[in-house]
Copies of this chain bind each other. A is one copy, B any other.
Amino acid sequence: MSEPVAIIGATGALGFGLALRWGVAGVPVVIGSRDAARAQEAAERARQAVPDAHVEGYENAEAATKAEVVVLSVPFRNQSETLTNLKTVLQPHQLVVDATVPLAAAVSGRATRMLGVWQGSAAQQAQEMVPDGVRVVSALHTVSAASCSDLDHRLDEDVLVCGNHREDKERVMALIDRIEGLRSVDAGRLEMARITESLTALLISINARHKTHAGIKITGL
């Protein structure tokens, strides 16, 4: 049994896929959604897909109180609003895993283009917005939502993890490594998120040309 993980935005494709994968791995999952009924419905769907899974559903703010590690898997368009709503809820011991990608699609631009975020990256924006003492780790941008939520698809790729504290990254990496087929790789400080986030746009460009759901791997490790 692992520590539980809360996934804010887990009714979205990536978040729900992660809930399934962690469910398979025996990690207790708390699904968060803006709407409690939708969260409960998603949890029910997850339990049907993975009968052994420990999955519950709550409204986002309540979900965020149920685990020390809180994955933020929302569209960039909603990141700031979501974090504002969590401001009075998140506690100093908690860890936010930001998976947000500032694709230009958020402002009806192309999904192969990035928006410039004043703080450098969505993860650094998240770090600025969370209450004092809450620390942000950036991860999970390159895992295809479609592949992740299809349990028949065998994952085989790396997840780049950025953060300013080694112990935070190790905690997140341990959770990621619980998912079969994913290998976590420490990619450096949180500021490197401006590069790792942009890999989503790169993979979308590659997907368009190769009709696939690409992922990435680091060689030489």
The answer, among B144, B213, B219, for a CB contact under 8 Å with A156, is B219
Q: How far is the CB of A169 from the nearest CB of chain B, in Å?
A: 10
- Residue pair B219, A215 in contact (C-beta under 8 Å): yes
Segment 173-221 of A: residues with Cβ below 8 Å from B? 185-189, 191-192, 194-196, 198-199, 201-203, 205-206, 208-210, 212-221
User: Which residues of the other chain, B, contact A206 by a CB distance below 8 angstroms?
Assistant: 160, 185-188, 218, 221
Which residues from B are CB-within-8-Å of A205? 187-189, 192
A: contact size bracket = 35 or more
Residues of B within 8 A of A187 (CB): 202, 205-206, 209
* A219, B187: Cα distance in complex, Å: 18
Q: Is the CB of A221 within 8 A of B212?
A: yes
The chain A residues found within 8 Å of chain B, CB to CB, are: 112-114, 144, 147, 156-157, 160, 185-189, 191-192, 194-196, 198-199, 201-203, 205-206, 208-210, 212-221
The 28 sampled A-B contact pairs (Cβ below 8 Å) are: A112-B188, A112-B192, A113-B191, A114-B195, A144-B220, A157-B220, A186-B209, A186-B210, A187-B206, A188-B208, A192-B202, A192-B205, A195-B195, A195-B201, A195-B202, A198-B198, A206-B218, A210-B221, A212-B220, A212-B221, A213-B220, A214-B219, A214-B220, A214-B221, A215-B218, A215-B219, A215-B220, A217-B217
